[in-house]
Amino acid sequence: MTGSRIAFEACLGSVLIAAAIGVTLGVLAAFTRGWLDDTLSALLDILIAFPTLLLAMLVVAARSATLASAVLAIGLAQSAVVGRLVRILVKRVLTQDYITAARTSGTSWPRIVAGHVLPNIWPTLMVNLALQFGLAILAEAGLSYLGLGAPPPNASWGRMLQEAQATFTTAPAGALAPGILLVLLVIGVNLIADGLRDTLDPAARGRRG
């Protein structure tokens, strides 16, 4: 139960970081043109290709092996995925007639983003963030397993798995309990993401049916 608190804190923090950075970069990339658009797109692609583990090592080297460092590393890694999705969604919205009408009426770009762009990409973005939450759970457990996450005496599921290796043959419950809970939590989060997709996008539910 204590390990679940660490998992939720780490994953919620990393998803919030990913959302803040990713939405900002994605909107900027969608509104820019030419070399600036290419630069931001290349930056997002580099972050996506950059391994989360290596990024975590760099963050830990600059800071220390703490839960905050793991949250920052996971959030930075996930922000690129969120940013690229937001860029695609925003560019699609900007081609709609109501955006042209808003610009013709003299509406400023900040008001267009707040009143038209973000509300229209929010359903798809919510589903993606829910999926990123599940990936963050696994990433936090992996970093803690390698000693790059929350240090002792924090009860991280990844650290529990690492410490239970030596006693797996004599006390398998020490490894099975956190492992099973990790699997169940990730499955549960993915089911929630599926439910959000069905609720926010009825057309997708019809295609699946």
Taking only the tens place, the pLDDT of each residue in 123-165 is 888 888 888 888 888 888 888 887 777 777 777 777 788 777 7
CB 148 within 8 A of CB 56: yes
Residue with tokens 């990790």: 182
Q: Which spans in the chain are helix H?
A: 2-31, 35-49, 52-62, 67-94, 97-104, 109-112, 118-145, 157-163, 173-200, 202-208
Residue 16: what pLDDT?
93
Q: Which two tokens stand for residue 201?
A: 């996008």
Residue 17: what pLDDT?
92
Cα atoms found within 13 Å of the Cα of residue 29, Cβ hemisphere only? 24
Q: What is the pLDDT of residues 38-94, one digit of tens each?
A: 887 888 888 778 777 777 778 777 777 778 888 888 888 888 889 888 988 888 888
Give the whole-number percent of the chain exceeding pLDDT 70.
95
Cα atoms found within 13 Å of the Cα of residue 26, Cβ hemisphere only? 28
**Which tops the pLDDT comparison, 22 or 3?**
22
Mean pLDDT value of segment 8-21: 88
Q: Which two tokens stand for residue 45?
A: 């692609």
Mean pLDDT value of segment 10-30: 88
Residue with tokens 């993401």: 193
Q: Which two tokens stand for residue 19?
A: 């959302």
pTM of structure: 0.80
Residue 87: count other Cβ atoms within 10 Å of its Cβ: 24
User: 3-state class of 95 per DSSP?
Assistant: coil
Residue 201: what pLDDT?
63
* Domains along the chain with CATH numbers: 2-208 (1.10.3720.10)
How far is C-alpha 144 from the chain's CA centre?
18
**Side chain identity at residue 47, one-letter code:** L
Residue 33: what pLDDT?
77
Residue 166: what pLDDT?
76
Mean pLDDT of the chain, nearest integer: 80
Mean pLDDT value of segment 167-191: 80
Mean pLDDT value of segment 90-104: 84
Give the whole-number percent of the chain exceeding pLDDT 90.
2
